Structure 1
Amino acid sequence: MYKLYFYDMESDSASDHDEESQQRGPIYKAKSNKVKLVITYNKKGVLVGKEATKLSTFEGLVARTMVPITYTSWLEVSEEVMEGLRQYILEKFVVDPKSRKQTLQSIGMKWRNFKHYLYAKFIKNQSKYPKANLFKPLKDYPFIKKEDWKVFV
């Protein structure tokens, strides 16, 4: 049901920008660990440590690649999809079961930020450059379906 598209960051096809450019390119691949990373929490229930940073990065990857951009709101995402996202995270990380809501909120926030980024970069200035960048995200983000992008635009 869910597909994650992983692209090797070391291959030439993924690194399309200059070496001198300080702009960060899109992240497609999380480092695969055969061992689940254990997430630690402080007394207030806040994630801490290097593993927390890796979890946050992975949540961003999951949000971009597994949740379609056609939803207008995070509230529209079905409970089944959300549970699938959580289960996918649990395959890679050992997370406290009490943090289910926190995990889903974090994925939702990253998903909204990604949608805003796409809007700001490719659609907002469309009046200045009509149809100049309308299909560029399909090249930059191959996990976005063509139909989904048309609905999003």
Structure 2
Amino acid sequence: MDHEAGDDIYYNNSEGEYNDDSSQASEEDEMDNNDAQVNNDAQLDNIDAQLDNDDQVDNDAHVNKRGLTRLTKWRAKFEKSGGKKWPITFDALGRVDGVHRPKFSSFLGDIARSEVGLRYLKWKEVPKDDKNKMWALIQQLFEIDDCRRGPIMVRLGGLRRSFRTKMFKRHVRPNLARPTVLEKVPKMYHTIVKKEHWDRFVAHSKSDEFKVVSKSAKEVLAQYVYDHTMGRGGYPYLREKLVQNKEIAADDCPSRAFIWRKGRVNKEGEYKMPVVKGVADDIAENEAKINAGSVNVEPGTDALTLVLGKERGG
């Protein structure tokens, strides 16, 4: 099964309800256990792409404040639309799809930063009241059922972690030898990051605990060398682009191997790294052999499995 960190949000809930204290505990604890704020630069490319896009200055309004200002803009857009909530739809796998998916993804990023941001060192420290507030903000603007809440909360935790990663990479790590710079909250985040939270974040980033967790996270991330180029939209967005470009039909079910390869090329159809191209070529070769019948595989095994293994698709 393919696993792309942060790409697709799965919202299946077999119980049809949400229990913030139990049903999501294991996922949130795992999120906290891997909550280092430093990664290798290659792994941060996709995180930066999403956060940079969400932090774009609104040229029409000529403002450069984040967070609170952006939430105000969301409400203004909502009122301009006649106060009608944007419906969020899901595909057969429980992933967000439809025309409002980019809007929804961007909004989640905004509230993760403005409502949580650097306020808490771990996601499980976030009070239930704060999580309830974030869910209320979502339901004010989007038409989405309560049964989808649990996985969305996990997604918000991931976005909060990505924001902290970006803050460390761009504003803490380059200034570790310049303590006077670290005494001030980065200018563009004054509206959403309080001085006390910034100071605690900086202190934590210098701690031995942080260094140990960061080292462990780097070792894990070193295994994931096949970075994709799909951005925050993930596979659903890639599929839409393939349909628009007439590379597949709307009702086609392309193979995992095909989608994996397409998700790792740039606009020119080239792979960023030779190692990725080599793996992609191996996958394509194995898929051709399977289709030709020259290689026999068991049910549930495909070219992606043959090359990358059963538990690691990305």
The normalised TM-score by structure 2 is 0.40
Instruction: Quote the offset at 1:13 in angstroms.
Output: 4.4
Q: Give the Cα–Cα distance (whole angstroms) in 1 for the partners of residues 199 and 182 of structure 2.
A: 12
**2:253 alignment counterpart:** none
Instruction: Quote the offset at 1:68 in angstroms.
Output: 4.5
1:45-81 Cα deviation digits (max 9, x unpaired) = 1110221221110010001101141311101111121
Instruction: Quote the offset at 1:131 in angstroms.
Output: 2.9
**2:188 alignment counterpart:** 140
Amino acid at match of 1:143: I
Q: Please say if residues 117 and 160 of structure 2, whose CA atoms lie closer than 8 Å, have aligned partners that are also in contact.
A: no
2:152 to 97, 103, 111: 103
Amino acid at match of 1:49: G
SS at 2:100 equivalent: helix
1:72-92 Cα deviation digits (max 9, x unpaired) = 110111112111111110000
1:13-66 Cα deviation digits (max 9, x unpaired) = 428xxxxxxxxxx67524421221000111111110221221110010001101
**Number of aligned residues:** 135
Amino acid at match of 1:89: I
Amino acid at match of 2:188: D
Q: Give the Cα–Cα distance (whole angstroms) in 2 for the partners of residues 57 and 83 of structure 1.
A: 19
Bigger radius of gyration? 2
Q: Give the Cα–Cα distance (whole angstroms) in 2 for the partners of residues 69 and 91 of structure 1.
A: 24
Q: Please say if residues 63 and 108 of structure 1, whose CA atoms lie closer than 8 Å, have aligned partners that are also in contact.
A: yes
**2:64 alignment counterpart:** 14
Q: Give the Cα–Cα distance (whole angstroms) in 2 for the partners of residues 76 and 127 of structure 1.
A: 26
Instruction: Quote the offset at 1:11 in angstroms.
Output: 4.0
Q: Give the Cα–Cα distance (whole angstroms) in 2 for the partners of residues 136 and 80 of structure 1.
A: 26
Instruction: Quote the offset at 1:132 in angstroms.
Output: 3.2
Q: Give the Cα–Cα distance (whole angstroms) in 2 for the partners of residues 146 and 136 of structure 1.
A: 6
Q: Give the Cα–Cα distance (whole angstroms) in 2 for the partners of residues 152 and 90 of structure 1.
A: 30
2:135 to 70, 86, 98: 86
Instruction: Quote the offset at 1:12 in angstroms.
Output: 3.9
1:98-141 Cα deviation digits (max 9, x unpaired) = 2111211111111111011111111112234443354251x211
Does 2:135 correspond to 1:71? no
Does 2:165 correspond to 1:116? yes
Q: Please say if residues 122 and 134 of structure 1, whose CA atoms lie closer than 8 Å, have aligned partners that are also in contact.
A: no
Q: Give the Cα–Cα distance (whole angstroms) in 1 for the partners of residues 193 and 91 of structure 2.
A: 37
Q: Give the Cα–Cα distance (whole angstroms) in 1 for the partners of residues 175 and 121 of structure 2.
A: 20
Q: Give the Cα–Cα distance (whole angstroms) in 2 for the partners of residues 47 and 79 of structure 1.
A: 24
- Note the residue ranges of structure 1 that are not aligned, 5 or more in a row: 1-7, 16-25
Identical amino acids, percent of aligned pairs: 24
**2:218 alignment counterpart:** none
